[in-house]
Amino acid sequence: MKSVSETFGSMVFDDRVMRATLSAKVYASLKKTIDEGETLDIGVANAVAQAMKDWAVERGATHFTHWFQPLTGITAEKHDSFISPSPDGSVIMEFSGKELIKGEPDASSFPSGGLRATFEARGYTAWDPTSYAFIKGKTLCIPTAFCSYGGHALDKKTPLLRSMEALNKQALRILRLFGNDTAKCVRSSVGPEQEYFLITKEMYDARPDLRFCGRTLFGAKPPKGQEMDDHYFGAIKPKVAEFMEDLNEELWKLGIMAKTEHNEVAPAQHELAPIYTTTNVATDHNQLTMEMMQKVASRHGLVCLLHEKPFAGVNGSGKHNNWSIATNDGQNLLSPGETPYENAQFLLFLCAVIKAVDDYQDLLRISVATAGNDHRLGANEAPPAVISMFLGDELTAVLDAIENDAPYKGAEKTQMKLGVHVLPKFNRDTTDRNRTSPFAFTGNKFEFRMLGSSNSIACANIMLNSAVAESLKIYADKLEGAKDFEAALHDLIKETIKEHKRIIFNGNGYDDAWIKEATEVRGLKNYRTTPDCMPHLLDKKNVDMLTSHKVFSVEELRSRCDIMLENYCKTVVIEANTMIDMAKTEIAPAVERFSADLAKNVAAKKAVAPTLACAYETGLISKLSDLTDRIVSAVSELQSAVIALHDCDGVEEEAYAIRDDVLQKMCALRLACDEAETLTEKKYWPYPTYADILFSVR
């Protein structure tokens, strides 16, 4: 059995492999491309392709693919074998630099938001050398960007790389002002915590809503859910532990630094957290993590659910995006040091983030907007839809002191007294954690807690990188021309605090009073649903900022707005049609069968004893009859609402109709069916219940 150190990265063409298989000259040239953005020479590409192919074939690979991330939210791949014909009728294994650098998948069937007509099929994939190639199964996977024939980005990697470059450019300007001439680049880094549910495949296969929609559309509350908090951090069940062990090994082979695993709050819910790495690589790794979770679960007779809200009444699943920025030589620019009040560089970068989050709170909300996440945000299990920042007592006090030109005394170190002599003594952190905050400072990074569990982290980090780059650009423009740098720096930090302190909130984000204060007093945005926020992507200030940093073109922004709204509409319509089918063909007939059998029992009893009241049966039959009528009526109304969507003028109008009408009618149908479930004898009910599903894994 291989050790973890032997397993880790064994299927990755990483720096260790490149150093061992490439000539010193080729390796040095490639590293310049990766680290400093130098143009890739075709001769270097050919040498890398040859070494990459030899390495992959030695490990059993027969095919290669350009692995990319289209706007479907998942990854895509088209496999080509390494074989080429030989004159003697045999084959040889070949792979050229040209094949490494560029691929040509069909672009016509991927979402393009009008950038490409259906008959315009050509698209290109371009190798991203900053993310290592890896072997999955028998295929060498080469991370790539994906663009249209006209050069428009049709993926999530391209704008992410652009946003990282924008942040790098502006952050270096700031560092040079502080006398740092050695840093060659500044990168954002991310560690995405991934929540998920595990249920048995038997339960999954028996529920059409899970199979078609990834979440349950019906289900009465079980007698026991998460009320006792006994699942959170509890002992991991043997079957789940086996899954986690297998998953870790698969992730480690791919160089993914899976580190933390535990039970989450809801029954059957769990979490995996990696060590964080550069944002581009972290995004690739998180997509792979989600894919591997589902594949490994299948091996164990389980299904991994990544929907944000698979079960009503219990916590949904999120993905906490731990974000920071650091230089290539390892300096974390969001690390306060021992005396944050005296760390001017840290305070300026902190203020840049504060300004970015306040100025572009709408973009951050848009970046996590999906039909699934709309069910979760603000539901006392995730942050509210209102964006705010948690800084903790010490940093807040530091900023208050700067704003008021007052001395800062410093936070007192408090030693924890646990009352047991044998336990070690340690100082309490100067700030607590706030799980209700959408955007919380956690020591040397920010934790953006609003992402849904199935989201690509690319979207959130594109907006975050770009918004912070804009803040830094504004700062650099002012400071580079200042006669007195220190005075200008002090005024800039003070001005930022005064103008943007409304976004800072250290209290309970779940409190209704906070939402009222946030919107009515502080003027913060509260976009509760995807249709509420998505059109604001095209607000002038957002378009101007994103295009000025060349993260998106105007056409790309318009297309993404349409794609995300269309995705929202399609998701809910599929759910509505699934509800209609389940209620019409299974639930209503099941309730009718139970009612009919009850009526037969009443008739049999009265045949023996005519004066018998049979109050229980007749009362239940009456309730079930009323519920059946409600179900049939609700199905009809929902069908009409879905059909009416065809008359909408455009995807935006359709999204509003879904928000205002379809979702309400889906809720009415669910309420009737869930009540019927509580009254129908279990053997008649056509689907596994919540009690069955949530406690099925042992």
Amino acid at 46: N
Residue 430: pLDDT over 80: no
Confidence of residue 481 (pLDDT cuts 50, 70, 90): confident
CA distances from 342 to 197, 215, 389, 405, 490 (A): 45, 50, 22, 13, 11
pLDDT digits (tens, 9 = 90+) for 594-631: 999 999 999 998 888 887 878 888 999 999 999 999 99
Kindly state the average pLDDT of the residues 144-173: 93
Q: Which two tokens stand for residue 484?
A: 């007195």
Confidence of residue 394 (pLDDT cuts 50, 70, 90): confident
CA-based nearest residue to 440, from 370, 472, 393, 495 = 393
Residue 408: pLDDT over 70: no
Beta strand 439-441 pairing with 389-390: parallel
CA-based nearest residue to 309, from 676, 684, 670, 565 = 670
90 contacts: CB under 8 Å, gap ≥ 6 = none
pLDDT in the model for residue 423: 46
pTM, full prediction: 0.93
Is the distance from CB of 294 to CB of 210 less than 8 angstroms? no
Q: Which two tokens stand for residue 444?
A: 């040397």
Sign, Cα dihedral of 157, 161, 162, 164: positive
Residue 38 has a CB neighbour count (10 Å cut-off) of 13
Confidence of residue 426 (pLDDT cuts 50, 70, 90): very low
647 contacts: CB under 8 Å, gap ≥ 6 = none
CA atoms of 26 and 13, how far apart (whole Å) = 15
pLDDT in the model for residue 684: 97
Is the distance from CB of 38 to CB of 130 less than 8 angstroms? no
Report which secondary-structure segment, H or E, holds 220: none
pLDDT in the model for residue 204: 98
- Lookup result for tokens 């509409």: 569
Amino acid at 141: C
Higher pLDDT, 473 or 2: 473
294-298, 390-394, 629-633: range with lowest mean pLDDT:
390-394
pLDDT in the model for residue 112: 74
Helix, strand or coil, per DSSP, at residue 124: strand
CA-based nearest residue to 99, from 136, 60, 144 = 144
3-state DSSP of 266-323:
CCCEEEEEECCEEHHHHHHHHHHHHHHHHHHHHHCCEEEECCCCCCCCCCCCEEEEEE
CA-based nearest residue to 309, from 202, 395, 216, 235 = 216
Residue 633: pLDDT over 90: yes
Q: Which two tokens stand for residue 56?
A: 């992959």
pLDDT in the model for residue 115: 67
pLDDT in the model for residue 550: 97
Q: Mean pLDDT, the chain, as a whole number?
A: 90
Helix, strand or coil, per DSSP, at residue 59: coil
Report which secondary-structure segment, H or E, holds 13: strand 12-13
CA atoms of 142 and 428, how far apart (whole Å) = 46
pLDDT digits (tens, 9 = 90+) for 60-113: 999 999 999 998 888 998 898 987 765 655 556 678 888 888 887 766 677 777
Is the distance from CB of 216 to CB of 222 less than 8 angstroms? no
**Pseudo-torsion of CA 45, 47, 50, 51, nearest 10°?**
-110
124-128, 219-223, 375-379, 421-425: range with lowest mean pLDDT:
421-425
CA atoms of 642 and 656, how far apart (whole Å) = 13
pLDDT digits (tens, 9 = 90+) for 207-229: 999 999 999 999 999 888 877 77
CA atoms of 574 and 77, how far apart (whole Å) = 25
- CA 133-60-25 angle, to 5 degrees, is 45
Is the distance from CB of 450 to CB of 319 less than 8 angstroms? no
Walk me through the domains of the chain, giving residue ranges and CATH numbers: 4-155 (3.10.20.70), 163-216+227-412+434-552 (3.30.590.10), 568-694 (1.20.120.1560)
Q: Which two tokens stand for residue 340?
A: 């944050």
**How many C-alpha atoms does 244 have within 13 Å on its Cβ side?**
22
CA atoms of 337 and 441, how far apart (whole Å) = 14
Kindly state the average pLDDT of the residues 664-681: 97
pLDDT in the model for residue 230: 77
